[in-house]
Structure 1
C-alpha cells in the first residue's frame, strides 16, 4: 500500500531537514545556538521515584473515570482512556470514515500533490490586494504602503469562521510568521537593507483578515475584495497589553511609560479559535528581532548579543536592546483578535505567559471556563495550560461579547511535569519498555494566579514576563520542541506535537525519558493526555505516546499499535487539527526523511486508530502550515516555498506557484473532492 523509504541514519546539516536559509530567517539559527535552557531542573527521567505510589492512586481514579466520561471502553496500563484498537484487518479496508482516500506517496516534486479524485486551487498569495485601489503585486515595485493593504508573507495559522447573514461566505484569518528578504527582493544586500525594504517587511508580518466566497459547484474560495471585515495587522499596528503583567515596570519603555501599549506583532506561528468567536495568535521566535542583548534573562530567551539578521535596529531604536531593554518583553505573547470588528484593538494576553508560543487552543471546563493549551517551541522547553477564573457567557449580545473579551486576563497559568511508569527501561533507542508503551502520569504545576506567584523567589509579574525561568524553578519536564497543543473537540483528549530534538542525549544534555524516548531525535512524536475526570480544570493527568514518527521500517516508530506496513512515513509533526469525524490531521515542518513536507490524516479512535495516511505534499523547500479540515474542503498554508540553500530572488529554489521567471510566493491552497462529495468519504 505504501512505498517503503530507505532508512536514513546520516545527520543532515540542518536538524529537522530545514535549509540554512530557513534557519536564518525563521528562527535565527536556533538549532546552531546554545540551548537556552541550561537549567538543572528535574525532568521525567529524574522524577520516577515517586511514580509507583502516585500512579496507583492517579491511574486508578483518572483512567477509569475518564473511560466512563468519554465512553470509549476499557483501558489497560497507564495510558489515556482509549480502548486498545483491534487490528486484525477488520473494518472497512479503505480507511476510517473521513480518511478514505488513496494516500499520496512521498516525493520531491515542485508542486502541491493531492490524492486521485481531488482538485486544488490557490485562494490567495503573498501580495494579493485586500482592498480596492491597492496595486496588484509587482515584484520590482514593492512598497510598505502597498504591502500594508496586501496579503502578508509566509502564511502560517489559518482559521475559517462563519459569517452569519452572508450565505456562502466565511472569514479567513491568517498568520504571517516571518519574511525571507533574500527571496522577496531582487538584488537584496543583507548587510545594507534599505528603509523601504525594512518597512515593507514590517508590513508583511502580522495577520490578515479576509472574507472568502465559496464558488458554486466546486470547493474553490475567492477573496472578497474590499469587504468591510478585511483587515491587515502588521508589525506597526497599535495593540494593548492586558492581564496581570500589564503596566509592570518590565514592560515600560520610553515611548510607552504606561507599559500597556505596544506597536505590532510578528513571528506569529500557529494559533487557535475561541468559543466566543475570536482568534488567538502565538508570537514565537521573537528573539531574532532584537539586537545587542546581554542580560541573563535575554539569553534564556535566545536574544543575540550582536546585530540582527534583518538589521531593523538601524531603522527603529526599539529593536536595539541597549536603547530600549524592555521592548523585547512586549513580544512573545498570545495575541487575541476580534475578526468581526475591524476597528478593534488587538490585545496581548499576559496571563498566558511569555515564551516562544507555537499556538493557543481553548476548550471549556465542565462549568464553562476556558482552558488554553500552549507549547513553547524550542528544544528542552515545556508545555503549559491556562485556566480562566471566569465563565464564558453565551449569546451575541454586546454585554456577553465585552465580558468574553476579558476571559483570558484572569486565571492560573500551569506548566506540565510528566512521570514515566517504566523506571530504568528507556535507553534512548526508542525500543518500547516491557509494558509495550511509553506512558505514565503527570501533574500541572501552578506558576501564578493573577498577581499571586506560586514560584518561590519570583513575583507574579516576573513569572508572566519570564515564564521560562519560572518553569525551570518548579521542575517542569523538558520536552522535544512542544509545538501545537490541541484538545480533541470529540473526546477532550489533548495532543502535543513534539517536532524533534537533535540535542537530546548529547554530552551535557538531558538524556531520553519515557515522554521523549529517543536520543538525537530527528523525527519527533505526538503525546496524548487525558486529564483527571476528563476535566481540564484538574491538575493531574495520564499520558502516552500516540505516535512516534519516522520511517515505518524503523523499529523505533509507533502508530498507536496500527500495523506499520499500512501507514505513511511521517517526520517532524508540527500543527494539529481535527476533522468533523474527530480524526487528527498533522502538518509537518522540516521532514527529515529526504522528501517534501505534507499533511496527514490519522484515525484517533475505532478499530483503525493509528492508521496514518498522507493527504498532500507541498512544493520544494516549503512547509505545510495552518491546516483547516472541513466536511468538503481542506486548506493549507504553503509557507516558504523555494527556501533552499543558495536560493535568491534571482535564483529561486522553486517555481511555484506561477512558474519560471516569477518570484516564489507563499500562498493558501484549497483542496476538494472533484465529485463534490465529502473529504475522505
Structure 2
C-alpha cells in the first residue's frame, strides 16, 4: 500500500484497532485493556421460559433446514440474483460510485476525489442557539458551551424539509469529551479539574439540532438561525418510557420515581426514523462512573462488572462534583444510561425519551425497518468484544407521515413489543480454522434465528423477570445463547434490496487463550481489521425470526490472504480497516466509515456496491485528518456529510497539537461536520458519484 505524498504526520500509536491511547482512555475508558466483560459459555438453551413455540423460534434444526436454500430460498428475488452474478472484471462503475478513489494517506486534511469540493458545515464551539458567544479556546464557560456546538461529533442525521432537500434539519451526536484536548494544557490538571471545567464537559456532551440550507448553485450546506435550533446536554431532562420505566433498578435519591433522567451521554451512532425523529444510542457510559468496587452486594456488583462500570476514581473526576457519578452513593445511576434515546427535532420544546423496551447495553445505533404487516423493527449492536446483535419489533403498527400526531403515535410504538437477540450458525462446520481461509463453498455464510428475550411484562428467559431483561439485557442474552460477535457497531437496512448490513469493527481477543474461538460469522483469530455482515430475514420480513446471512467483506490489506471482498478481484479494491458506521445511497450502495485503521493510513469513507458484477468493489471516497475518526456518513445524490471526530487525538494534550484541522495555521484541532459535493451548476448540482 502506497501513501499519498505530502507532509506526513506521526502515525497513531498502536492500540487495539489502531487507536490512539488518548482516544482509548477518553472514548471508552480503555475497555480493550480490561478483560472482556462477557464471561458466559453461551451455549445455553435450558431455562427458556414456557409459552414460546419451540417449533417457531428454537428448533434450530428445522430453522437450518428451512434456510438451507440460501438467500434465494428466503426471498426468491434480489438476494437470489446476487448469488448468481459472477464478480466483475472491468465492469462499468455502478451509479453512485463513479469517482476516482482517494489513495490512502496520512495528511492533515479531508482528502476528496478530483472534481469535488468541500466545506465545513459547523465545528466545535460554533453557535447553535441565540446568544452563543464566539468560541474562545482559552476562555470557555459552561454557559457558553451549552449554546455552542458540542464536542466529538459522531452520528449525523439529515431530515429534508422540502422535496429538493434544500432546507434540512441536521441532528448531530456529541459522543464524548477529551479533556486534555478540550482545554489548554496550562489550564487543565487531569488529577484536579475545576467544577467549571467539569460543567463545560457536561455541556459539550449530548446532541445539537440545527436548521440548515443547501446552496442549490454551489452545493455547500450551511447552518442558519432558527427557533428549531437546540442543544441537548447532560443537564437536559429525559423521560423514561416503556416496560422498565419506574423500575426499582432505575430509582435514585434525585429521582425516586425512576422515570426522569438528567441527560444523555456517550451517544454514538443513531438513525433517522420514518416519522422524522432521531434515535440515538448511548454507548460507553460505563467509564463516567466511579467506585463500583465499593458496592458490597454481590449480585449488584456482578451486574456492574458485566457492564464494565468503573472502579476507583474516574478519569474525569466528575464524582467530586455530583454524587450521581459515584456508584457507592448512587448504585442505580449507571442503569439510567445505555438506552436508545429519541429526539424530536421538529419540536424544540419536546422532552427527549429513553426507550426501555429496546434493552440496555452499549448501543452503537438504532435503525428502523417497517415489517411486512406495518410494524416497526429496530436494529442495534452492542459495541464491545464478544457482545451481541439485537432487534426489537413493535406490537402496534406504524402510521405514515411526519406530522406531530404521527410522530407521537410512532414514538409510542417503541414502548411495547418484543426484544430479540441474534444467534448465527455457519454452514461449513469443521472448515473454519481462524486463518480467514474461505470454506469450500466459497463464502462465509449460514443461517440464524432471533431469540426472544421479553415482550411487555413477560420474560422468555428463565430466572429473569421482564424488568431484569430490559435493565440487564446482556446477562439475559448470555443465558439465551446468543452469538458472541466481534464488536457489532452500526446496523442499517438497505432501502433497495431490503437486506440488513452490520459493521463488526474488530476483536483482537478472538481466539486468544481462554477467550471465545472462531466461528463462521467471526472467522479470524485476533481479528484486528473487522468485517461486514449481510443478512436477509425470512421472506424479507423484518418481523421474521429466521434469517440467512453471509459476510460481504472481511476487511484488511487486499494483499493479505485473510481478506475477502465479496468475490471481487482483490487487486482492484481500496484497503479498508475497522468498519464502524454504515449508510446507503439512493442506488443501494453501501458506504462505510472507519475507526482505527490498522493499515498505517488515516481513516476514511468507502463505497461498496452490494449486487451485480461490482459487488464487493471497495473504493475510498475520502480520508479524514490525522488522528481523526470518520463518523456519521450521510450520502444523498447531492452531497456527502461526514463527522470528523477527534482530529489530532494522538497528541498527549493540547500543548503540542498534531493536527490543525479545520482552521489551519497554529490553531487547535476542532471536531466538525464536513459536506462534500461534486462541482457543477444546478442542473441541479452535480450528483455524487456520477460523471
Tell me whether 281-290 or 164-173 shows the greater mean CA deviation: 164-173
Structure 2 counterpart SS, 1:389: strand
* Residue of structure 2 in register with 1:669 after alignment: 674
Give 1:560 deviation, angstroms. Answer: 0.6
Structure 2 stretches of 5 or more lacking a match?
5-11, 46-57, 294-300
Provide the rounded CA distance (Å) in 2 between the counterparts of 1:67 and 1:57. 12
Provide the rounded CA distance (Å) in 2 between the counterparts of 1:626 and 1:54. 35
Are 1:96 and 2:105 counterparts? no
* Residue of structure 2 in register with 1:680 after alignment: 689
Are the counterparts in 2 of residues 485 and 497 from structure 1 also a CA contact under 8 Å? yes
- Equivalent of 2:579, from 573, 577, 580? 573
Matches within 5 A, 1:76-155: 82-89=82-89, 91-92=91-92, 95-155=93-153
- Equivalent of 1:304, from 303, 307, 310? 310
Are 1:194 and 2:194 counterparts? yes
Give 1:585 deviation, angstroms. Answer: 0.1
Are the counterparts in 2 of residues 548 and 556 from structure 1 also a CA contact under 8 Å? yes
1:378-400: CA deviation from partner (whole Å, max 9, x where unpaired):
00000000000010112355443
Structure 2 counterpart SS, 1:542: strand
Are the counterparts in 1 of residues 63 and 449 from structure 2 also a CA contact under 8 Å? no
Matches within 5 A, 1:277-356: 277-294=276-293, 295-356=301-362
* Residue of structure 2 in register with 1:451 after alignment: 457
Structure 1 counterpart SS, 2:556: coil
Are the counterparts in 1 of residues 131 and 147 from structure 2 also a CA contact under 8 Å? no
Matches within 5 A, 1:26-425: 26-42=27-43, 54-60=63-69, 63-68=71-76, 70-74=77-81, 82-89=82-89, 91-92=91-92, 95-164=93-162, 168-186=166-184, 187=186, 188-225=188-225, 227-294=226-293, 295-425=301-431
Give the TM-score normalised by the residue count of structure 1.
0.94
1:582-617: CA deviation from partner (whole Å, max 9, x where unpaired):
100000000010110000000011221111100000
Structure 2 counterpart SS, 1:328: helix
* Residue of structure 2 in register with 1:586 after alignment: 592
Are the counterparts in 1 of residues 3 and 106 from structure 2 also a CA contact under 8 Å? no
Structure 2 counterpart SS, 1:384: strand
Are the counterparts in 2 of residues 90 and 607 from structure 1 also a CA contact under 8 Å? no
Structure 2 counterpart SS, 1:372: strand
* Residue of structure 1 in register with 2:49 after alignment: none
Provide the rounded CA distance (Å) in 1 between the counterparts of 2:3 and 2:567. 19
Are 1:534 and 2:532 counterparts? no
Could you list the structure 1 runs, at least 4 aligned residues long, displaced by more than 4 angstroms after superposition: 2-5, 49-54, 164-167
Structure 2 counterpart SS, 1:146: helix
Are the counterparts in 2 of residues 52 and 421 from structure 1 also a CA contact under 8 Å? no
RMSD: 2.0
- Equivalent of 1:658, from 641, 654, 663? 663
Note closer, same or farther for the CA distance 1:634–1:66 as it changes in structure 2 (3 Å cut): same
Provide the rounded CA distance (Å) in 1 between the counterparts of 2:308 and 2:85. 43
Provide the rounded CA distance (Å) in 2 between the counterparts of 1:231 and 1:397. 20
Are the counterparts in 2 of residues 20 and 645 from structure 1 also a CA contact under 8 Å? no
Are the counterparts in 2 of residues 85 and 609 from structure 1 also a CA contact under 8 Å? no
Give 1:510 deviation, angstroms. Answer: 0.7
Provide the rounded CA distance (Å) in 2 between the counterparts of 1:669 and 1:493. 29
Give 1:163 deviation, angstroms. Answer: 1.8
Structure 1 stretches of 5 or more lacking a match?
6-10, 75-81
1:614-660: CA deviation from partner (whole Å, max 9, x where unpaired):
000000000000000010100000000000042x1111121111123
Give 1:573 deviation, angstroms. Answer: 0.1
Structure 1 counterpart SS, 2:571: helix
* Residue of structure 2 in register with 1:554 after alignment: 560
Structure 1 counterpart SS, 2:17: helix
Structure 1 counterpart SS, 2:641: strand
Give 1:50 deviation, angstroms. Answer: 8.9
1:196-249: CA deviation from partner (whole Å, max 9, x where unpaired):
110000000000000111124112111112x01100000110000000000010
Structure 2 counterpart SS, 1:222: strand
Structure 2 counterpart SS, 1:296: helix
Note closer, same or farther for the CA distance 1:369–1:306 as it changes in structure 2 (3 Å cut): same
Matches within 5 A, 1:632-647: 632-646=638-652
Note closer, same or farther for the CA distance 1:53–1:209 as it changes in structure 2 (3 Å cut): closer
* Residue of structure 2 in register with 1:440 after alignment: 446
Are the counterparts in 2 of residues 359 and 484 from structure 1 also a CA contact under 8 Å? yes
* Residue of structure 2 in register with 1:78 after alignment: none
Note closer, same or farther for the CA distance 1:473–1:146 as it changes in structure 2 (3 Å cut): same
Provide the rounded CA distance (Å) in 1 between the counterparts of 2:439 and 2:165. 54
Q: How many residues align?
A: 659
* Residue of structure 2 in register with 1:463 after alignment: 469
* Residue of structure 2 in register with 1:77 after alignment: none
Give the TM-score normalised by the residue count of structure 2.
0.93
Give 1:305 deviation, angstroms. Answer: 1.4
Structure 2 counterpart SS, 1:83: helix
Structure 1 counterpart SS, 2:535: strand
